[in-house]
Amino acid sequence: MPRRRALHGYRDELPAALATIALGAVLAIATPGYYAPDNLRDLLLASLPVLVVAIGATLVILSGEIDVSSGSMFAVCAVIAGTVAKATGSLPWATVAATTAGLLLGLLNGVLVSSVRIPSIVVTLATMVALRDGLRWVTQGTWVQDLPREFQWFGLTQQVYPWIAVMVSIGLLVIAAWALGHLAAGRAIYATGSNTDAARLAGIHVARVKCTVFAIAGALTGVAALLNAVRFNQIPSNTGLGLEMKVIAAAVVGGAAITGGRGTMLGTLLGVVLLGAIGPALTFLGVTAYWERALQGLIILAAIALHARRDVRDTDTPAAAASRAVPA
């Protein structure tokens, strides 16, 4: 995206950036305690897994599909990681197991969407319910406990681990952002999302793109589950409840179009920061945390209302206007 003027190419991300800066400023004035290193570190460690899942969710949304099963997948991967770590006592194996489990579950979604051609919202709705209840059935609701000592913080100290986690998450984000902009595969995702028929006519293997995107999202969910699990010394079997909504919301707040083909990793990062920072901020500002959900909903609605006006400006063809009325 060539920049003709400053910030010209970042029109979609600007509202999220301004909102984040505004929130930061309000917090700095009202409750400077928010910026205490301990609080920031907790915030960071809680947000990094969400960010990693959101990378995958953004890829799926960019390709014009949707994945609401990431929360359940997250729980399954976390429990598998914990069980493998307990059984083998080896962290590398736990990592491999979590990532592979995520990859396979994502692949299942991808195959059902691209080959059997069932709509993605139905497929992922089904896997979401099935995985969540299947996990409850297998574990009978028990938590994974008595994890090996080196499982927590990856066997590192609590001071070193955050740096590793940040490097992994931001590294994945940067790779995804670079690939979307510079690799043929990345451009194919945008092409598929913005117009599937046109992409197919242009020689892009649309089914393969969609399948791959779901598989990548699954693998990233596995990584995120591990990053989250090592923060505690036990793994609840109901972890990741509502995560799917959080990551989709982050992508949308960051300027991604739910219809596909539009959005960036930078926007998703801003969305995760904004939505992640607002919950603890409420507590600091003296409002009960129960209003967090309502505020998140308001932010999403504000973001889509802004983008609705943007889309009307961008496309004024009658067919496009009519198809927006009730998109498939």
Partner 1 sequence: MRRHRLQTSEWVLVAALVAEVVVFTVVAPNFFTLANGLEVTRVSVELGLLALALTPILVAGGIDLSVGSLMGLAAVAFGAAHQVWHAPIPVAMLTALAVGIAGGALNAFLVAWLQVPPLIVTLGTFALFRGIAEGVTQAAVNYSGFPAGFLALGQGYLGGIVPAQVPLFAIVALAYAALLHRSVIGRALYAIGFSAPGARYAGIPVKQRVAPIYLLSGVMASVAAIVYAAHLGQARADAGTGYELDAIAAVVLGGTSVFGGRGTIGGTLLGLFVLAVLKNGLYLSALSSELVGVLTGALLVSTIAIDRLSNREFAGVARATQEGVPVRNSQVAVLCAAILRRLVSRGRHQRLARPVDHLERRRCATRERLRFAACRCDDAEGQGRSLFRQLPRRCRGGREGTWRRSDLGRPHQPRRRAAERAGRELDYARRGCDRGCGRESSRHLDRAPQGAQPGDPRGHVGCRRRA
- Site for partner 1 contains 116 (CB under 8 A): yes
- Site for partner 1 contains 133 (CB under 8 A): yes
E strand or H helix that includes residue 2: none
Query: Which of 127, 143, 239, 314 touches partner 1 (CB under 8 A)?
Result: 127
Tell me the DSSP string of 212-281: HHHHHHHHHHHHHHHHHHTTSSSB-TTTTTTHHHHHHHHHHHTT--TTSS---HHHHHHHHHHHHHHHHH
Closer of 40 and 258 to partner 1 (Cβ): 258
Q: How far is the CB of 295 from partner 1 (least distance, A)?
A: 7
Give residue 155's region: left, alpha or beta (phi > 0; psi -120 to 50).
left
Closer of 184 and 294 to partner 1 (Cβ): 294
* Residue 113: HSE in the Cβ half-sphere, 13 Å Cα cutoff: 31
Query: Which of 22, 28, 87, 122 touches partner 1 (CB under 8 A)?
Result: 122
Q: How far is the CB of 261 from partner 1 (least distance, A)?
A: 13
Spatial distance between the Cα atoms of 254 and 267, rounded to a whole number of angstroms:
4
Quote the tokens at residue 229.
């699990």
Give residue 156's region: left, alpha or beta (phi > 0; psi -120 to 50).
beta
Query: Which of 54, 80, 132, 216 touches partner 1 (CB under 8 A)?
Result: 132
Residues 76-105 that bind partner 1 (CB under 8 A): none
Spatial distance between the Cα atoms of 66 and 295, rounded to a whole number of angstroms:
23
Query: Which of 23, 44, 96, 118 touches partner 1 (CB under 8 A)?
Result: 118
In the chain, the N- to C-terminal Cα span, in Å, equals 28
* x/- map, 183-222, partner 1, by CB under 8 A: --------------xx-xx---------------------
- Site for partner 1 contains 321 (CB under 8 A): yes
- Site for partner 1 contains 285 (CB under 8 A): no
Question: Taking contact as CB under 8 A, which single stretch among the options 15-23, 25-33, 171-179, 311-319 is the one that binds partner 1?
Answer: 311-319
Size of residue set near partner 1 by CB under 8 A: 63
Strands (DSSP E) found in the chain? none
- Site for partner 1 contains 160 (CB under 8 A): no
Residues 6+ apart with CB under 8 A from 302: none
Query: Which of 32, 134, 171, 181 touches partner 1 (CB under 8 A)?
Result: 134
Spatial distance between the Cα atoms of 250 and 58, rounded to a whole number of angstroms:
9
Contact between 125 and 247 under an 8 Å Cβ cutoff? The reply is no
* Contact positions vs partner 1 (CB under 8 A): 66, 112, 116-119, 121-123, 125-134, 136-137, 140, 197-198, 200-201, 245, 248-249, 252, 258-259, 288, 290-298, 300-301, 304-305, 307-309, 311-312, 316-319, 321-328
